[in-house]
Structure formats: C-alpha cells, structure tokens
A and B are shown apart, each in its own frame.
Chain A
C-alpha cells in the first residue's frame, strides 16, 4: 500500500475533494443522506453482480445483498417526500477488477425533484468545473457519435452491419465474437468512440441513449421523433464518470423491466435477483418526477490527479486488503 508522503498526499486530496463536494451541495440546498448498505433485494441488471451475505440469528437466516448503488433506497426517500438529496456511499460490485474498476468503491449519487435531464446535465457540468476544475463539458447525442466517428445511423442498422463495422475497426476482436445489437453498440462505443472522446481533452456529456439501453430512465421521443432513453453519461479522461437518468416513475413499467432483466439473467445462467418490492410500492405511492445521477468518486480523483489506476487513489486498495 501507499506509504508516507504519497499516502498523506492522497488522503489529503481525497478529504479536500469530499469537502468540495459537500460545499457544492450545501450551497444548492441539497441534503446529505445515508441509507442502508444491506438489502433483501438487489438490482436485476443483467451485467451487474451483487455481493451477498447471510443474516443469522438463532435458527433464522436470510440472504442480504450489499448495495451496488444507493439508488433504490434514495428513491424511497424521494417518494416519501425528502426533497433534493445526495449521498456519498461505498458501493460493491462483484467481479469488477481492473485499472478503472474495483469491487468496492465510492459513489456520489444525487437526485433533484423537478429537474429535467437537461437541468441535471447542466448541474453535473457545473459540478466537475467547480469541484476539480475541468473545462466545460460538450454535449453530444449517442447516435451523433456513431454518425460522426463510424458513419453509422444506429436507427437504420442491424446486427450484421454492426458486427461488420466492429470487426473492421477493432483488430483485437475475434471473427467469431457474438453479441446482440446493444452489445455491438457498446463494443464500438468503448473501443472506437471512447478513444476519440478522450482525444478531445474535454469532458463529454453523451445523451439520447437507445431506448434498449434505458435502464431505469424514461423513454420518450427526441426532436426527430425517435424514441430514446432520457439518460446521459459523462465521459472524461477516457473514463465513464457518471450515469444519469430522467427517472422512470411508472411502477408497472419498472416491474416489467426488472422481470425482463431477470429473464436475461436466467438465459446467461446467472441467479435471478429478488425484485425490490419496497421500491415498487414507494413508486406506486408516487415518486415525484426527478432526475438523478451516480458519479464514481474514485474515478473523479483519478481524473483530478491524472492517475491511471484506481488503486492509486484509494487509501487501501482492493489488492492490499
């Protein structure tokens, strides 16, 4: 692990960053909250794996999941009338370990009742400029990136075309690689477009995601009448820093998405996750229209300190623990 001056410097910079984050929200009258880490439910997203553990008391035992983000609990607070809230939470994601990934990391998540997605994007833009002094972010639609860098109209294409384009641009990709429409888009995004965005040397807010990648965002037509996910991602320094939604507030549709996700998990041979009934009940009772975003604080530190490995910005890294 880090020692002496190097450690002191990282600890100091982290503490300063957290103080700056809290100042940012304090001046905007967004309230800091804490929510439980353990839950009897877990997210269903097909490519997100929760850690689980056992609660044991005498003869009773119950499986509990460590949160992968405080999203569900915070939405319950919103539905119960909390108003604008933020949280700095340690979150857990199983199986994710690499230069930009670690199974246990710091997430900053905030929700703004009454904010449109554009309002929240403006706030995220102000946030990164104020907190770590980045240049202003530029905004770009997901489909525009594919048009600009790959001459592809993602709404008029099919899996075979996407595969051919991917094999042409990504030499490391074996010819028998198999995935679906979204899998190819994600592959092209991470291997071809992200390096282009990194080279811009300025943060980029990517918005209007394909409806099939809506996650927990609302879907609505864009200016061209194409149904798109009201979702954005912030890219900076070759990293995905934040993911935001104009939140889906329809409990029936949310339940359908959870169930679809669980079917996709089963097809991959992954365990089905218990759906968060508390969240659905809260949403049924009325979640105010709001926009929310989750931002990786360790990656923000990496960007701030120009470090290329997440383990170098943590007090004690996963490998040292």
Chain B
C-alpha cells in the first residue's frame, strides 16, 4: 500500500486514519519559534462524514486510501440499496443509506452523480450542483406575481422541498441548486 509523507499533504488527499478512509480538507504547516515543524490537518472521515483535526509530525507518513471518484448514472432503489451504473462499462454499484445521506433528496433516474468509491464500494454519492426537477406539489400559482418576494414551499419529484416564487405551478420544471437546496429559475424544457 502506498503512503504519503506530510510534505505531500494537500486538500483532497485521501488517506487511512484509524482504519477509516479520510480526505484532507485543510493542511497547515506550523513551525513554532525555532522549534520542530508539524502539520495541523483538518480532515473528513469519509465513512462517518465527521470532521476532525489532528497534528502530524513533519515527515510522519500515512497510508493512502484506495478512494476514487467516478461518474455514475442512478438506476433505481430497492428500498435498501440505491443502484448506480457506469454508463460506459455498464458495471453496477450498490450504495447503502449512509452513502446517499447528502444526496437522497436529489436522486433522479438517469441523472449522473459523482460517486466516491472506497475499495470499489460506494462511500459517498454527491449530486451535481444543479439539477432540473418537476414540481409535484405546491399551492396554486398566483398569476401576475413575478417578483418572487415571499414565496412558498414546493415538493419536487425526488421528495425534496424547496422555497419557490408564488407564480410556480405543479408540473413545472425547476432548476435547483443542490448545495443550498434552493430554487434558481424555471428550467428550459429538456
């Protein structure tokens, strides 16, 4: 198994910590006074999602984690697993509920998602920043109101609820920012 030395640390580097794959968020080189340097590292445990901080002695090394990110198409869910497919190799991957915690409100069949694999198993499913989704439930639209002031909740086909302007009606397709779970605009028909 490959290893990384602290001088290779940078944001995004995947390494093993206490048996779990982790990803570096921030790496700071610290050299106090005339003393020994160390690295103050903020990282995310990719299994639990938790963010931790740890100091590493300069030149300490860590084991690399076999973590890769690939683009997969969402196929369907059987309630227990969420199934994704590699559109070129047709290989299937099953993600569990933990892996889709951040994306379950945005999963739509045939859409492409970034899936983080650890030793070939989905660890994390990340939705695209913007998705187009159909409104399945909302209060009747108010004609003539294009100001967007106030707003109302709307339920989308994936189950997500976002605040939308008053003029939005059931059946309309909206462009939504998944990072903030917010309405952007009416989507052009696709």
Contact = CB atoms under 8 A, between A and B. Distances in A.
A213 B29 contact: no
B40 A172 contact: yes
Q: Considering residues A179, A189, A190, which has the most beta carbons from chain B within 10 angstroms of its beta carbon?
A: A190
Nearest to B54: A172
Contacts of B34: 45, 47-48, 213, 215, 243
Contacts, number: 63
A253 interface: no
A245 to B, nearest CB: 11
A182 interface: yes
A243 B32 CA distance: 12
A174 B39 CA distance: 12
Q: DSSP class of A's interface residues: helix, strand, loop or mixed?
A: loop
Contacts of A243: 33-34
Contacts of B53: 171-172
Interface string B12-50: 000000000000000011111111111011000000000
Contact of A47 (B28, B36, B40, B54): B36
A52 interface: no
A47 B31 contact: yes
B40 A95 contact: no
A319 B53 CA distance: 25
A233 B33 contact: yes
Interface residues of B, number: 20
A243 B53 CA distance: 29
B3 interface: no
A96 interface: yes
Contact of B55 (A95, A97, A177): A177
Interface in A221-254: 233, 240, 243
B33 A189 contact: yes
Contacts of B36: 47, 179, 183, 186
B77 interface: no
A96 B37 CA distance: 9
A19 B104 CA distance: 59
Contacts of A99: 28-29
Interface string A99-116: 111000000000000000
A316 interface: no
Given A47-B37, A179-B36, A183-B36, A97 B54 contact: no
A240 B37 CA distance: 14
B54 A174 contact: yes
Contacts of B58: 95
A213 B37 contact: no
B101 interface: no
A101 B31 contact: yes
A101 B29 CA distance: 8
Contact of B32 (A95, A173, A190): A190
B8 to A, nearest CB: 11
A183 B58 CA distance: 13
A174 B31 contact: no
B29 to A, nearest CB: 3
Contacts of A138: none
B70 to A, nearest CB: 29
A171 B57 CA distance: 15
Contact of B35 (A96, A97, A170, A186): A186
10 contacts: A96-B31, A96-B37, A98-B29, A170-B55, A173-B55, A183-B36, A186-B33, A189-B33, A190-B32, A243-B33
What 3 pairs between A and B have smallest CB-CB spacing? Answer: A98-B29, A190-B32, A186-B35
Given A47-B37, A179-B36, 11 more contacts: A47-B31, A98-B28, A98-B30, A187-B35, A190-B30, A190-B32, A191-B40, A191-B55, A213-B34, A233-B33, A240-B33
Interface of B: 7, 28-38, 40-41, 52-55, 57-58
